Amino acid sequence: MEAGETATVQLLDGMFFQNENRFTATEGCSLIVTTGGIGPAPRDVTPEATEAVCGKMMPGFGELMRTESLKFVPTAILSRQTAGIRGNSLIVNLPGKPSAIGDCLQAVSLLSLIALT
């Protein structure tokens, strides 16, 4: 991928991340963002899938996103947002609710840029 290009990837129950052969479709991306799958339900496996492919986890991203979300909804404490580094890519797991996505992205946007440099 060229700088500034974006790609959309379908994630189904973490299977995309767990299949290393298919993950190569995102190689070269500086930032990979997922939405949803971060709750306590059995089907919510995005954080586990992210951890399985990352060399380093960045738990501070999740802590900051939960702190920001708690300003709006008390159930944010149940979320399991996280982030990790795979090669030169930062993978950030965001909530599935559109308004929460905006709140969390705003909270971590500057940190994402710093992590990518």
CATH at residue 87 = 3.40.980.10
Is 7 among the domain residues?
no
Q: How do the pLDDT tens digits run along the chain, 117 residues long?
A: 455 554 444 455 545 555 554 455 556 778 888 888 899 998 888 898 888 888 999 999 999 999 999 999 999 999 999 999 988 889 999 999 998 999 999 999 888 778 777
pLDDT of residue 68: 94
Region of residue 9 (phi > 0: left; psi between -120 and 50: alpha; otherwise: beta): beta
pLDDT of residue 27: 65
Q: Is 86 helix (H, G, I), strand (E, B) or coil?
A: strand
Total count of residues recorded for the chain? 117
Is 41 among the domain residues?
yes
Tell me the pTM: 0.77
> What is the domain count for the chain?
1
Is 4 among the domain residues?
no
What counts of helices (H) and strands (E) characterise the chain?
5, 4
Domain holding 45, by residue range, is 15-115
Is 78 among the domain residues?
yes
Q: Any alpha helices (H) in the chain, and if so which ranges?
A: 15-18, 20-23, 46-53, 59-70, 98-115
Is 44 among the domain residues?
yes
